[in-house]
């Protein structure tokens, strides 16, 4: 049975994408080839972005090249280092607000439990704090391997959202797909809130707010930014606003209360329809999301497969 950890979604319709396959069983993949693969794909996609003096919404060509090269090199090196058998697939694509890097490889089933524990830690805790603790541990222990340090660096330094999908493929092996999302819009053009294991962002073209990952909100310092984003969306005077939660694996009671308050605010504003898209595969959504109708009768619930 498949398992998803962190922010992992393949709903993007890529405007452009490229895929490469490495065959380590047939040809030895040296470390230099990992870097070469990353640099090639980085330079290819950098050509699709504006020069540095462009004042548009997208980040510059140089920023794309540097970020993709570093992030993809980390992902490909990890895949080569831990691959047990089979091919390694590398894909880069341009989504709505992100450049998506996806790398897959195979590991032994016995390696899954400790890996799962590490990935859950990466997805649940603040990456900046984890990076500090790991760097301190490495400084104290010369034998330390820096477990997860590469992931923490790309999350902290490049604003990357990470997610993983674990798929058992045989009695011996599991396929692990690692997804890294790099923001490609400049800060002033982006309505987005990111945590270590979640992302909430607004697509003005679709008038849709997307919730992704695992969202456990604590005090006002965590839920107030999301309330502020939703308030800005409401000020846009749209006739219909969609909230897409198909890839939100968990939302705690504080987060659900944020949705209740938004539904009430929409009702008070007048004739604005609230459309919520959920997933049949995520049990909590079937229990909690239909309750939004109690606060706003102009409500449509859509569950997708």
Q: Which of 43-52, 225-234, 257-266, 294-303 has the lowest mean pLDDT?
A: 43-52
DSSP result, 292-304: GGGT-SSEEEEEE
Q: Can you give the pLDDT at residue 54? A: 56
Q: Calculate mean pLDDT across residues 172-183.
A: 93
Burial 271-292, CB ≥16 within 10 A → b, else e: ebebbbbbbeebeebeebbeeb
Query: Given a cut of 60, is residue 189 above it in pLDDT?
Result: no
- Domains, in order of start, for the chain: 3-183 (3.30.565.10), 191-304 (3.30.750.24)
Q: Which of 22-36, 64-78, 90-104, 288-302 has the lowest mean pLDDT?
A: 22-36
CA 8 to chain centre: 5
The rounded percent of the chain whose pLDDT value lies above 90 is 44
32 — pLDDT class (breaks 50, 70, 90): confident
DSSP result, 66-99: HHHHHHHHHHHHHHHHH--SS-EEEEEEE-SSEE
Q: Can you give the pLDDT at residue 173? A: 94
188 — pLDDT class (breaks 50, 70, 90): very low
**270-301 pLDDT, tens per residue?**
888 999 999 998 999 999 999 999 999 999 99
CB atoms within 10 A of CB 181: 25
Q: Can you give the pLDDT at residue 145? A: 56
144 — pLDDT class (breaks 50, 70, 90): low
236 — pLDDT class (breaks 50, 70, 90): confident
Q: Which is more confident, 51 or 304?
A: 304
pTM of the entire predicted model? 0.68
Helix (H) or strand (E) holding 242, with range, is strand 240-251
Q: Which is more confident, 115 or 144?
A: 115
Q: Can you give the pLDDT at residue 63? A: 86
Q: Can you give the pLDDT at residue 142? A: 61
Q: Which of 43-52, 61-70, 75-84, 171-180 has the lowest mean pLDDT?
A: 43-52
Q: Calculate mean pLDDT across residues 250-276.
A: 90
CA 40 to chain centre: 23
Q: Can you give the pLDDT at residue 113? A: 94
Query: Given a cut of 60, is residue 305 above it in pLDDT?
Result: yes
Q: Can you give the pLDDT at residue 190? A: 63
Tokens of 80: 């080569």
| Phi, psi angles (nearest 5°) of residue 38 | -65, -45
Q: Which is more confident, 129 or 255?
A: 255
| Phi, psi angles (nearest 5°) of residue 47 | -65, -15
Q: Calculate mean pLDDT across residues 5-13.
A: 77
105 — pLDDT class (breaks 50, 70, 90): very high
Averaged pLDDT of the chain: 86
């Amino acid at each position: 049975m498949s398992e998803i950890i962190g922010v992992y979604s393949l709903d993007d319709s890529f405007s452009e994408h490229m895929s490469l396959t490495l065959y380590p069983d047939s040809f030895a993949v040296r470390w230099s080839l990992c870097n070469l693969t990353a640099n090639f794909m980085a330079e290819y996609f950098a050509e699709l972005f504006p020069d540095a003096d462009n004042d548009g919404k997208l980040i510059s060509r140089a920023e794309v090249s540097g970020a993709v090269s570093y992030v993809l090199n980390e992902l490909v090196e990890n895949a080569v280092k831990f691959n047990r058998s089979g091919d390694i697939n590398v894909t880069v694509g341009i989504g709505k607000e992100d450049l998506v890097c996806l790398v897959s490889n195979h590991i032994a089933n016995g390696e899954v439990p400790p890996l799962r524990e590490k990935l859950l830690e990466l997805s649940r805790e603040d990456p900046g704090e984890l990076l500090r603790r790991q760097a301190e541990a490495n400084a104290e222990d010369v034998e330390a391997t820096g477990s997860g340090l590469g992931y923490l660096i790309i999350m902290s330094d490049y604003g990357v959202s990470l997610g993983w999908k674990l798929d058992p493929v045989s009695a011996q092996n599991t396929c692990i797909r690692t997804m890294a999302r790099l923001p490609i819009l400049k800060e002033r053009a982006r309505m987005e809130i990111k945590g270590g294991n979640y992302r909430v962002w607004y697509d003005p073209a679709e008038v849709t707010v997307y919730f992704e990952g695992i969202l456990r909100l604590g005090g006002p310092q965590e839920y107030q930014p999301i309330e502020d984003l939703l308030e800005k969306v409401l000020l846009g005077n749209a006739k219909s606003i969609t909230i897409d939660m198909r890839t939100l694996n968990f939302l705690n009671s504080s987060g659900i209360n944020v949705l209740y308050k938004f539904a009430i605010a929409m009702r008070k504003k007048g004739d604005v329809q609230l459309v919520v898209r959920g997933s049949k595969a995520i049990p909590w959504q079937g229990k909690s999301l239909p309750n939004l109708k109690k606060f706003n009768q102009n409500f449509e619930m859509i569950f997708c497969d």
